[in-house]
Amino acid sequence: MKTQAPDPTKLPPEVNREVPSIARVCDYFMGGKDNFPADRAAASAVEQVFPQGKQLGKESRFMLQRATRFLVQNGIKQFLDIGSGLPTAGNVHEIAHETDPEVRVVYVDNDPIVLAHARALLADNQTTTVIQADLRHPDGIFEHPDTLRLLDFDQPVAVFMASILHHLDDEDDPWAIAAQIRDRLPSGSYVMITHFYDSGDERARDVEAALVKGGLGSGWFRTADQIARFFDGMELLEPGVAAANDWRPDDHTPRGSDTHHLLAGALGRTT
């Protein structure tokens, strides 16, 4: 899907261009055009201490795409992509439909700009939709009429939370939220997470400070143990919680990347 620079006259009124938004900063790091000066200023504060921000964004996307292929090849036909971000190249439905055009995908984001762009791009798509909802309130996601229209929770579902849980503070108890989501899923479902990784790389704390204090207000680096706790009560597939580029790499996965130890990924299955 192609994105163009935002047309201010077509933006939903709740979009505040003066305050950086995670979705638009993320779009900047993906090389997109759906961002404003406030977003670029927040991104620039990060780039000053961590010029490889764009690389990290790409590596999260690559893992999401590898996980999508793996899951479709293993018979998964339904995806719930929470914190989907602004549409970019290689979205879940595009990757999944290369193998199985009947796969159904619900994208979820709490940023109104995501809803506006994705709705326009998905207008004629029968298998894919986007809803505006908040990860901190899973009931609003699972009980949304559009979720229930497309997804059958008597059948396995893959839930993606790529580069979103690190935007939830410890005070939000993201572990309890992950557990609520797990409890909603039938046996044989999957949860895929990518997350900023505190692997002992000394840059982690500096990047975290730039993200948290540089205007975004969040972007927490967590250890492998903390990330593994998101999968409590689930079976972690090999190789467990790993650097994202070490998670079932393919021919396109970066090797020897400078950001290798700063992003973790894992895939769990419900029992």
Ligand X SMILES: C[S@@+](CC[C@H](N)C(=O)[O-])C[C@H]1O[C@@H](n2cnc3c(N)ncnc32)[C@H](O)[C@@H]1O
Site string (23-42) toward ligand X, x via CB under 6 A: x--x----------------
User: Is 149 near ligand X (CB under 6 A)?
Assistant: no
User: Is 184 near ligand X (CB under 6 A)?
Assistant: no
**How many angstroms separate the CA atoms of 8 and 251, rounded?**
40
Sign of CA dihedral 203, 259, 238, 70: positive
Nearest to 103 by CA among 85, 82, 123, 76: 76
Candidate residues 34, 39, 59, 111; the one interacting with ligand X per rule CB under 6 A: 111
Candidate residues 10, 33, 119, 136; the one interacting with ligand X per rule CB under 6 A: 136
Strands (E), 110-230: 128-132, 158-162, 190-196
**How many angstroms separate the CA atoms of 117 and 63, rounded?**
23
Candidate residues 6, 20, 22, 43; the one interacting with ligand X per rule CB under 6 A: 22
Candidate residues 20, 53, 83, 214; the one interacting with ligand X per rule CB under 6 A: 83
User: Is 116 near ligand X (CB under 6 A)?
Assistant: no
Q: Roughly how many angstroms between the first and final C-alpha of the chain, as a whole number?
A: 35
User: Is 92 near ligand X (CB under 6 A)?
Assistant: no
Positions 221 through 260 that interact with ligand X (CB under 6 A): none
Whether the CB-CB separation of 71 and 94 falls below 8 Å is answered with no
**How many angstroms separate the CA atoms of 93 and 155, rounded?**
18
Candidate residues 77, 104, 144, 167; the one interacting with ligand X per rule CB under 6 A: 167
Per the structure block, which two tokens stand in for 125? 């798509």
User: Is 68 near ligand X (CB under 6 A)?
Assistant: no
Amino acid symbol at 48: Q
State the DSSP code for 197. Answer: B
State the DSSP code for 57. Answer: H
CB of 29 to ligand X, least distance (A): 8
- Give, to the nearest 10 degrees, the angle between helix 37-49 and helix 53-73: 100
CB of 102 to ligand X, least distance (A): 23
* Cβ count near 58 (within 10 Å): 18
CB of 125 to ligand X, least distance (A): 19
Number of residues in contact with ligand X under rule CB under 6 A = 20
User: Which region among 93-101, 108-116, 204-212, 263-271 touches ligand X (by CB under 6 A)?
Assistant: 108-116
User: Which region among 4-12, 134-142, 222-230, 263-271 touches ligand X (by CB under 6 A)?
Assistant: 134-142
Candidate residues 43, 45, 46, 64; the one interacting with ligand X per rule CB under 6 A: 64
CB of 154 to ligand X, least distance (A): 25
Residue 250: partners with Cβ closer than 8 Å, 6 or more residues away? 66
In terms of CB distance, is 26 or 267 closer to ligand X? Answer: 26
User: Which residues are near ligand X by CB under 6 A?
Assistant: 22-23, 26, 60-61, 64, 83-85, 109-111, 114, 134-136, 162-164, 167
